[in-house]
Structure 1
Amino acid sequence: MPQEVEISLLPQELEQEALIEKKLRKKLRWPKDQQLAHWHIRRRSLDARGRQPLFRLRIVAYKTGELVPETPSIIAALPQVQNRPEVLIVGAGPAGYFAALELIELGLKPIILERGKDVRARRRDLRAIQQFGEVNPHSNYCFGEGGAGTYSDGKLYTRSKKRGSIEKSLRLFVEHGAPSDILIDAHPHIGSNKLPKVVAAMRETIESKGGEIHFEAWVTDFLIEEKQGQRSLKGLRTADGKEWWGQGVILATGHSARDIFRLLDQKKVAIEAKPFALGVRIEHPQALIDELQYGIKERPKELPASSYSLVCQVENRGVFSFCMCPGGLIVPASTAPGELVVNGMSMSRRDSPFANSGMVVAVDMEDLKEYAHLGPFAAMSFQQEVEQALFRAGDGSQAAPAQRLTDFVKGKTSSSLPKTSYIPGIYSARLDQLLPAGISRRLQLGLQQMGKKMRGYYTEEAQLIGVESRTSSPIRIPREPDSCMHPELAALFPCGEGAGYAGGIISAAMDGQKVAQALAKWIAAQ
């Protein structure tokens, strides 16, 4: 039987196979004449808690004669579904694409309708918002092939392990061109420079197996049939007037498709307000974060750009770091003209001189009493008002208000600002006044607490840039726990972040797989 053990390595030892085998033999206590036929790393993590950062490796070792199992290709086993029953999917993000791949595996034909452009054409619209402040409401950092995750760092870590198979999701990424390291890293990451090719490869697989993907196909209506008091979703209409029909609809539109939420409400399909979080992006020099986390002045090339995770409670609300991007960039994530939203991303090398993270405050329904009359749109309206207010504070471009961390806490205007990774530019402003009072106050108190937890984090070298507001969907589309179908509209299967059931690339991907399985089961029972 193969044996699994853990060994520790210094960063500079990570590529030394002979040394790894020597340590492995010592840990296994094998005699010298026992041959080591094969070994592979099952898990790799970085432990920076001690005086010296160490890599912890869990390794599976095989003796001579022991069978090393082969992992069959998922793609190769997918059937042709050209002439199989059709299912509509709205949205070509991770939830939509992974749902499509799962449907193909289950013998159903997916037809994906995506309001944005393909991942290559989408780049021109990202350039337009970065350099000229022009926001295309259908093609931006949130909308388009690959969804928000494609150009938002590509972190593949999730705590939602009950949702589905993390291993299968990661393997599908690897089979479509992602580095195999994501299968073993404790906090896997692809990078926004590599994800577009992976996403395009997934599209090619879906189409080669008989699925369809239609870009710039903006859904504007749900075609609902009512019989004997039972409502059922039969199809969709897109902005060009075309009608699409299928045996079920997976709605995977992401957390920013406000028009879809409004359409659901107009069609009397139940939706509900959902708590989310709102705050800022905080940006430090990456060298400072490296020094604080690793305890060394200069990070060697063998160590990755360091990250952090901070959380505290202030006035019964969580204040926490979100989507931390080591060696990353801050990008404009607005989805409509007249609003200002920022987000973070990293390239695969994570070699930017800046570290950024969302620093946000939980927003509960109790905080939105003045919006209660808006019903399910209470949280969304609050979110939108803040984004529009910060846009109005500027010059009409995507330049963002910024304030040194220490000045924000003290309630002072920053006389100067550090350099930034944010290409549209920043200007000095009183973010502590521009943000809602409850958000500012809790951020001020929370950041002081975090400065005590992570000595050196609270510094004038850091700055806050606003607003980070698209942390999760402010609306949930209800669904039954087992069937994953909307409780009041048959054949509608809400899915992913936009429906309020995921938070990140991998959890959205796994939710897509789960919903596809539930839909296939429902079709089979008809």
Structure 2
Amino acid sequence: MKKELQLQLSPEEAYDENLFRQVALKKAGINTDNQQAFARQVRRSIDARGRQVKVNVTAEVFVNETPTPLINTPHAYQKVSGKDPIIIVGAGPAGLFAALRAIELGVKPILIERGKDVRARRRDLAAINKNHIVNPESNYCFGEGGAGTYSDGKLYTRSKKRGDIRRIMEIFVSHGATEEILVDAHPHIGTNKLPKLVAELRESIIQAGGEVLFETKVVDFILEDNEMKGVITADGEKIKGLGVILATGHSARDIFHLLHKRNILIEAKPFALGVRVEHSQNLIDRIQYHCEIDRGPYLPASSYALVHQTLFKGKQRGVFSFCMCPGGFIVPAATSPGEIVVNGMSPSRRDSKYANSGMVVAVELEDLPQYQKYGPLAAMMFQSEVEQKAWKMGGETQTAPAQRLMDFTQRKVSKSLLDTSYQPGLRSVDMYEVLPDFIAERLRQGFIAFGNKMKGYLTNEAQIIGVESRTSSPVRIPRDKDSFGHPIIKRLYPCAEGAGYAGGIVSAAMDGERCAEKLIEQYVIK
């Protein structure tokens, strides 16, 4: 016998396995002493709107019946070593999942990554944090697994039109992720666990006969009669295939320059830019969970999502939270020397004493008239100049410019700064001197509004750290909405974040799968 239940539980009932079993069986009318009875959660979300936090749970109860697996048994990937290849540039989630999908469809992927494998990247991340040394080929953005591997690991997406979210989650689970990601409404793996999972995904590709090339930088394309026949690497090697999936991420500026130089159609794209705001996690918990001291042993570190419409010089723009990291850290995400970029990450336990979130302003192309001379690279050049100014204001190291939150809204330079999770350190500055005026003023309006929405949020016991600028790609590589191919260059498939079509691990993974399917349907399957 199987029963499905909709339960509203206390945090203790939801997160204590033994107590959950007792509550679920009792609700189902089953004796809790029945050793043939099994209860599990299949969906879970926290409702913190009332004074008492509740957890909404969809549960399944089985009696005298073997529970069905939460995931389908993953099939073995077929061997493709002798098949015609496709080329995938970039080994982030889009590239990895494009490669796996190609294998499922009987095609050999050649996955090319400019950075190092996921383990070797760690030394370069340590060099940024401790010695302020930025390796332009291996950093928080470049390398196996892409930006998401060492920046947070959230798996939540609202995008359902690109593919099957559940399928992506099950592939993660079959490669080592916990089944909890199939249950939680806002699943998260964590930066401490993602590297092993990414390495397992790569191993599946190699075991099936695919190729994965690390420290292999693409510097040119092989174009013949408006067809993309392959790529040329920094070592001069020519790698050819049936088509090229370009999944290079939102920070591969050299690829955008190359596309522009080769007269391959690209477009400037709106994005968002701002700062990271850092509070104590305990403060955010007390605001969100309505608790007096702390959240207790059962509730996870709380998060928030905020948005406010601002008006500046007659133009309305949104200010919104981005990539909120409860119990996390702020990290240096520059991809070149001479720039400051910050991002957030959370380990799986989310047990840091800090909460941080991007707080960013929507930037439209009409906001950048002085950059129009750069054509399709206009927004990218604006982004780059802000990052370079932050580097100068921070002291020309990876020390980041910062200011206490209320001081920023009152235009006061902070006499001192708080402790921080940002390892390279902070320097007190007037952030109005770092940020363009239309960004700074909209942030000021936003923080005041957020302080009214979340009592206690606007405080000098929080600080802003700049700059959060890699929210999405400032360049779009256009593609046909049906075929996913570039509208002019045949056999070129712009993919995921770097092309302007996805944001986050899951949506990028789904986009990678779809690009592989479309390329193979057009040029392989007859």
TM-score range, shorter chain: over 0.9
Equivalent pairs counted in the alignment come to 521
Contact 1:9–1:56 (CA under 8 A) maintained in structure 2: yes
Structure 1 counterpart of 2:498, which letter?
G
Instruction: Classify 1:254/1:157 alpha carbon distance in 2 versus 1 (closer, same or farther; 3 Å).
Output: same
Q: TM-score, normalised by structure 2?
A: 0.96
Per-residue deviation, 1:393: 1.7
Per-residue deviation, 1:167: 0.8
Distance 1:236 1:271 in 2: 18
Distance 2:181 2:101 in 1: 21
Per-residue deviation, 1:71: 3.9
365-374 or 423-432, larger mean C-alpha shift: 365-374
Instruction: Classify 1:168/1:32 alpha carbon distance in 2 versus 1 (closer, same or farther; 3 Å).
Output: closer
Instruction: Classify 1:18/1:340 alpha carbon distance in 2 versus 1 (closer, same or farther; 3 Å).
Output: closer
Contact 1:36–1:61 (CA under 8 A) maintained in structure 2: no
Other-structure match for 1:141: 140
84-93 or 4-13, larger mean C-alpha shift: 4-13
Q: TM-score, normalised by structure 1?
A: 0.96
RMSD: 1.9
Distance 2:188 2:67 in 1: 31
| Partner deviation per Cα, 1:300-355 (whole Å, 9 max, x = no partner) | 12111111111110021110000000111111000011111111111111111111
Structure 1 counterpart of 2:297, which letter?
K
The within-5 A match list for 1:26-425 is 26-28=26-28, 37-64=37-64, 68=68, 71-74=71-74, 76-226=75-225, 231-296=226-291, 297-315=293-311, 316-425=316-425
Distance 2:281 2:18 in 1: 33
Contact 1:7–1:23 (CA under 8 A) maintained in structure 2: no
Per-residue deviation, 1:24: 3.0
Instruction: Classify 1:299/1:163 alpha carbon distance in 2 versus 1 (closer, same or farther; 3 Å).
Output: same
Distance 2:503 2:162 in 1: 12
Structure 1 counterpart of 2:242, which letter?
Q
2:482 pairs with 1:486: no
51-60 or 63-72, larger mean C-alpha shift: 63-72
Contact 1:292–1:456 (CA under 8 A) maintained in structure 2: yes
Distance 1:186 1:267 in 2: 44
Contact 2:273–2:470 (CA under 8 A) maintained in structure 1: yes
Per-residue deviation, 1:373: 2.1
Distance 2:525 2:105 in 1: 14
Contact 1:87–1:248 (CA under 8 A) maintained in structure 2: yes
Per-residue deviation, 1:4: 2.5
Distance 1:15 1:456 in 2: 28
Distance 2:310 2:450 in 1: 11
| Partner deviation per Cα, 1:103-124 (whole Å, 9 max, x = no partner) | 1111111101100001111111
Contact 2:115–2:142 (CA under 8 A) maintained in structure 1: yes
| Partner deviation per Cα, 1:212-270 (whole Å, 9 max, x = no partner) | 000010000000001xxxx1000100000000010011100000000101111111110
Instruction: Classify 1:426/1:16 alpha carbon distance in 2 versus 1 (closer, same or farther; 3 Å).
Output: closer
Instruction: Classify 1:15/1:326 alpha carbon distance in 2 versus 1 (closer, same or farther; 3 Å).
Output: closer
Q: Quick one: percent identity of the two aligned structures?
A: 58
Structure 2 counterpart of 1:506, which letter?
V
| Partner deviation per Cα, 1:79-101 (whole Å, 9 max, x = no partner) | 11111110100000000001111
Instruction: Classify 1:466/1:209 alpha carbon distance in 2 versus 1 (closer, same or farther; 3 Å).
Output: same
Other-structure match for 1:499: 499
Per-residue deviation, 1:35: 9.8
What is the DSSP-based 3-state SS (H/G/I as helix, E as strand, rest coil) of the residue aligned with 2:368? helix
Distance 2:258 2:104 in 1: 31
Instruction: Classify 1:32/1:239 alpha carbon distance in 2 versus 1 (closer, same or farther; 3 Å).
Output: closer
2:467 pairs with 1:458: no
Per-residue deviation, 1:176: 1.1
Structure 2 counterpart of 1:309, which letter?
A
Structure 2 counterpart of 1:409, which letter?
T
| Partner deviation per Cα, 1:270-299 (whole Å, 9 max, x = no partner) | 000111000000000111111111111122
Distance 2:303 2:32 in 1: 41
Per-residue deviation, 1:49: 1.6
Distance 1:48 1:301 in 2: 16
Distance 1:423 1:16 in 2: 35
Q: Which runs of 5+ in 2 are unaligned?
A: none
Per-residue deviation, 1:53: 1.6
Distance 1:70 1:422 in 2: 38
Instruction: Classify 1:401/1:34 alpha carbon distance in 2 versus 1 (closer, same or farther; 3 Å).
Output: closer
Distance 2:17 2:122 in 1: 40
Q: Which runs of 5+ in 1 are unaligned?
A: none
Distance 1:8 1:295 in 2: 18
Instruction: Classify 1:274/1:29 alpha carbon distance in 2 versus 1 (closer, same or farther; 3 Å).
Output: same
Instruction: Classify 1:54/1:70 alpha carbon distance in 2 versus 1 (closer, same or farther; 3 Å).
Output: closer
Distance 2:32 2:45 in 1: 29
Instruction: Classify 1:193/1:388 alpha carbon distance in 2 versus 1 (closer, same or farther; 3 Å).
Output: same
Instruction: Classify 1:33/1:437 alpha carbon distance in 2 versus 1 (closer, same or farther; 3 Å).
Output: closer
